[in-house]
């Protein structure tokens, strides 16, 4: 391994995990409690992430959305992992909420709060744009497949039917901001030069630049706040249950899913943009999403096991993410 590449990987990964650690420290000192984390999550979900994703999607050429390494390959990898872990769940006799949590815990990645900062650190603005595309078009499928698995295994409680859950999954600020960004990109596409620059009247260009700067500032503000909230929410005492299931789940999530994503890219789209390849692998290797835990709490889906997945995957990713980032930067 070249020393400069190892240092580059540390420069990419350490700031993200340092902010997670700071959030945990602030929580332990009583400065970042449940109410503050709840407000941060609300602010990031409803404002910061939609602003970041809309801004990143809207400014891209419309042709840039058809990127199989960012959209098609991750969905194919997630589908394969889901099928595999459903077979494992059946062979092991896992049922109900525990089976649902086991399966969706193997693919539901924190591609937003942890993934976007990692990709920005690794590839700059182009990494942010590709990560935004991933979050816009792949992330909703995590939620949809998760709800389908809950319905399939007959898990959860409450009066919300599976159809209503799926409608709610489609109508959320992140997906709506992505759709709005695609519409703006489609409208702007006829005015782009072959080099991608917009040929529009100066007042429109100036307004777009000012709006983009504002949205980028709002979006950038939310990412470190989200990392602080995740760090504060981690409860390490939850990490001592279901060790057998946990081993299967962590192996699939942190090792098999990014490896499968890498192999599928190399096999099916070897000529894809290096940034797209790298971003897809890094995002596949991120730990489990906080959204898993939130939805599990709302629906009564093995909250303790999902909390364990969240904590352990985040802890183990301290070691696995630098490896995948090193591989991703070598494309």
pLDDT band at 251 (very low <50, low <70, confident <90, very high): very high
Residue 160 has pLDDT above 60, yes or no: no
Cα separation values, 130 from 262, 277, 329, Å: 16, 10, 15
Question: Residue 101 and residue 18: Cα distance in Å, rounded?
Answer: 28
52-66, 105-119, 123-137, 293-307: the lowest-pLDDT one? 293-307
With residue 224 as reference, give the H or E element that holds it.
helix 202-233
DSSP state letter for 109: B
Predicted pLDDT at 56: 79
Q: Which position has the higher pLDDT, 8 or 98?
A: 98
**Cα 120 → chain centroid:** 13
Q: Which position has the higher pLDDT, 266 or 170?
A: 266
Predicted pLDDT at 255: 95
Residue 44 has pLDDT above 90, yes or no: no
Pick the closest to residue 288 from 47, 112, 69 (CA basis). Answer: 112
330 HSE (CA, 13 A, CB side): 14
Residue 274 has pLDDT above 80, yes or no: yes
Question: Residue 276 and residue 264: Cα distance in Å, rounded?
Answer: 13
Contact 108, 45 (CB under 8 A): no
The CATH classification number of 3-329 equals 1.20.1530
pLDDT band at 162 (very low <50, low <70, confident <90, very high): low
Averaged pLDDT, 5-31: 83
Contact 259, 323 (CB under 8 A): no
pLDDT digits (tens, 9 = 90+) for 101-115: 899 889 988 888 889
Residue 311 has pLDDT above 70, yes or no: yes
Domain boundaries, the chain: 3-329
Predicted pLDDT at 57: 80
Contact 80, 260 (CB under 8 A): yes
**Cα 173 → chain centroid:** 15
Question: Residue 157 and residue 188: Cα distance in Å, rounded?
Answer: 46
Question: Residue 288 and residue 110: Cα distance in Å, rounded?
Answer: 5
Lookup result for tokens 């042709």: 63
Residue 239 has pLDDT above 60, yes or no: no
Cα separation values, 242 from 63, 99, 302, 311, 312, Å: 46, 12, 11, 13, 12
Paired tokens of 258: 């990014």
Q: Which residues of 22-40 are buried (b: 16+ CB within 10 A; e: fewer)?
A: bbbebbeeeebeeebbeeb
> How much of the chain exceeds pLDDT 90, in percent?
23
pLDDT band at 169 (very low <50, low <70, confident <90, very high): low
Longest CA–CA separation in the chain, Å: 65
Contact 198, 191 (CB under 8 A): yes
pTM score:
0.82
Averaged pLDDT, 162-182: 72
pLDDT averaged over every residue in the chain: 82
Paired tokens of 105: 């815990």
């Amino acid at each position: 391994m070249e020393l400069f590449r190892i240092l580059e990987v540390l420069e990419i990964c350490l700031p993200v995990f340092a902010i997670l650690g700071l959030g945990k420290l602030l929580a332990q000192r009583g400065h970042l409690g449940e109410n503050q984390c709840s407000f941060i999550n609300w602010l990031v979900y409803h404002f910061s992430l939609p602003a970041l994703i809309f801004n990143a999607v809207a400014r891209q050429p419309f042709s840039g959305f058809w990127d199989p390494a960012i959209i098609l390959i991750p969905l194919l990898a997630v589908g394969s992992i889901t099928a595999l872990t459903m077979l494992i769940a059946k062979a092991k006799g896992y049922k109900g909420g525990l089976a649902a949590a086991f399966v969706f815990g193997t693919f539901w990645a924190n591609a937003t709060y942890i993934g976007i900062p990692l990709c920005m650190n690794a590839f700059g603005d182009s990494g942010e744009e590709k990560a935004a595309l991933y979050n816009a078009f792949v992330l909703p499928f995590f939620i949809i497949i998760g709800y389908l698995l809950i319905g399939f295994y007959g898990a959860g409680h409450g009066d919300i039917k599976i159809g209503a859950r799926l409608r709610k999954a489609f109508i959320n600020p992140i997906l709506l901001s992505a759709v709005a960004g695609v519409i703006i990109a489609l409208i702007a596409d006829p005015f782009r030069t072959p080099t991608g620059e917009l040929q529009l009247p100066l007042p429109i260009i100036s307004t777009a630049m000012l709006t983009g700067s504002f949205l980028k500032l709002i979006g950038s503000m939310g990412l470190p706040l989200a990392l602080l909230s995740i760090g504060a929410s981690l409860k390490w005492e939850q990490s001592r249950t279901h060790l057998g299931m946990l081993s299967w789940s962590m192996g699939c999530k942190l090792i098999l899913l990014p490896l499968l994503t890498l192999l599928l890219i190399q096999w099916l789209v070897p000529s894809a943009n290096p940034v797209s390849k790298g971003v897809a692998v890094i995002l596949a290797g991120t730990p489990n999403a906080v959204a898993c835990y939130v939805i599990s709490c709302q629906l009564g889906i093995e909250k303790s096991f999902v909390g364990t997945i969240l904590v352990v995957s985040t802890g183990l990713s301290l070691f696995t993410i630098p490896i995948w980032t090193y591989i991703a930067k070598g494309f």
